[in-house]
Amino acid sequence: MNDLTQAFDPVQVPIKLLLFIDKRPSSGEYAQQLRHHLKTLGGDHPFNLDVVDVSEQPYLAEHFKLVATPALVKFSPRPQQVLKGSTIDSQLDHWWPQWQQEAELTLELLYQQRLHNANGHGSDQENLVHSIEIMKLSDEIFRLNQDREELEAQLRFKDRIVSMLAHDLRNPLTAASIAVDTLEMGHRAQTLDQKPKLSSELTSQLLRHAKTQIRAIDRMITDILQTAKGATADLQIQPQETNLRLLLVDVLESMNSKIHHNQQTLDVEIPQDLPHVYIDASQVQRVLCNLLDNAIKYTPVGGHISICALHRTTQKVQVIISDTGPGIPTENQEKIFEESFRLQRDEAKDGYGLGLALCRRILRAHYGRIWVESTPGVGSQFFFTLPVYRS
């Protein structure tokens, strides 16, 4: 055996794996079992197994187009492969020999490359080091270009947010200020025993109106702060068992005054036996508020809004929010979920194209999805799914 073969032969290309799990108590135990199974299965062949919590790194799960946990991704050596479902162990038994062959083929290709370099000018070690450095520099240049493009896009986006912020916040802030000023005048008149005085009904109405506007401002600021972190920032969620029915009722109560003000009708269909879901309630509440707020904003005075919850499968609950607004053109029904995208007709309306993009990020972090079905001139239906809680 020559020096080159002796130097190269002991090397083995490791099989690199990612295991995607969620925060269920059983997930940690499953990861340990799978690691033990890999050690038994792998024998002397090296492997790297990293465990990824989808709630902490949702965009990594999105990169691999995963829709459920657990899921095992073999990302090196190529080709990439995903095993999912409840039979990952048996799938591993089937695929592991092929993965070893792929690793051995990768090793052989590297060996042939080194032989080729050794037969040319310069030492094998120098050629190999030179090739590796070139690859590293190429990767670094590519990464830096991506980072630069992303930073430039973020700066442009933040400039647009700052320019729109003053206009978008002014309307609800003005409305809340008028309500508070009116309440103050009424209180002063009552204190001085002057007329006219505000009736109890008008006082309650003004308080509700001010509260609604302040909530709208709070949602705007929260959305802006979250979006300002960038689309690649981790969206931290803390899922737990949640009664979705009660959450829906709470959100609807907070929107009632706005629906009543627009003289819109609301139909609610939430079954009593709707199963509990495994979610971060505060984040999903943002999704519901955004979708309902859009339905109210785009539905004309006297129009119709409905919300329905369905238990479609043993794993997912589906929520549908419908309106009788202008609808969304077919060619834009995917684009409306992109960061800062707005329909041309909506440029004069309040908002900045953040709500639906955030809704999609939140739902993807929960392994759910969101989509729209719409007929221009008739209305829109927004659908989204959430995972059922399983003890």
Q: What letter would DSSP give residue 122? A: S
| Contact by Cβ (8 Å): 293, 355 | yes
Q: Determine the pLDDT at residue 325.
A: 92
Q: Is the pLDDT of residue 370 over 90?
A: yes
Give the CATH architecture of domain 148-228: Orthogonal Bundle (1.10)
Range picked from 118-127, 176-185, 188-197, 227-236 for highest mean pLDDT = 176-185
Separation CA 159–CA 10 (nearest Å): 55
Q: List Cα–Cα distances, 192 to 181, 188, 195, 196, in angstroms.
A: 17, 6, 9, 11
Q: Determine the pLDDT at residue 248.
A: 94
Indicate whether this model's pTM tops 0.85.
no
Q: Determine the pLDDT at residue 218.
A: 76
Least-confidence region, from 160-169, 261-270, 292-301: 160-169
Q: Is the pLDDT of residue 256 over 80?
A: yes
Percent of the chain with pLDDT over 70: 74
Q: Return the CATH superfamily for domain 240-387.
A: Histidine kinase-like ATPase, C-terminal domain (3.30.565.10)
| Contact by Cβ (8 Å): 386, 379 | no
Separation CA 383–CA 369 (nearest Å): 8
Whether the CA torsion 180, 182, 183, 188 is positive or negative: it is: positive
Separation CA 86–CA 230 (nearest Å): 34
Q: What is the pLDDT of residues 31-54, one digit of tens each?
A: 888 888 888 886 778 888 888 888
Q: Determine the pLDDT at residue 113.
A: 60
Average pLDDT of the segment spanning 300-327: 92
| Contact by Cβ (8 Å): 202, 333 | no
Q: Determine the pLDDT at residue 224.
A: 64
Give the CATH architecture of domain 3-120: 3-Layer(aba) Sandwich (3.40)
Average pLDDT of the segment spanning 97-114: 73
- Per-residue pLDDT band for 235 (boundaries 50, 70, 90) equals low
Length of the chain in terms of residues written: 391
Average pLDDT of the segment spanning 231-258: 82
Q: Is the pLDDT of residue 3 over 50?
A: no
Q: Determine the pLDDT at residue 320.
A: 96
Average pLDDT of the segment spanning 331-339: 83
Q: What is the pLDDT of residues 66-86, one digit of tens each?
A: 878 889 998 887 788 899 888
Show Cβ contacts of residue 357 under 8 Å, excluding neighbours closer than 6 positions: 227, 231, 337, 338, 339, 340, 341
Q: Determine the pLDDT at residue 114.
A: 57
Q: What is the pLDDT of residues 121-169, one digit of tens each?
A: 444 445 545 555 665 566 667 677 777 877 776 676 666 666 556 556 7
Q: Is the pLDDT of residue 383 over 80?
A: yes
Q: Determine the pLDDT at residue 263.
A: 92
340 vs 339, more confident: 339
Return the domain boundaries, the chain.
3-120, 148-228, 240-387
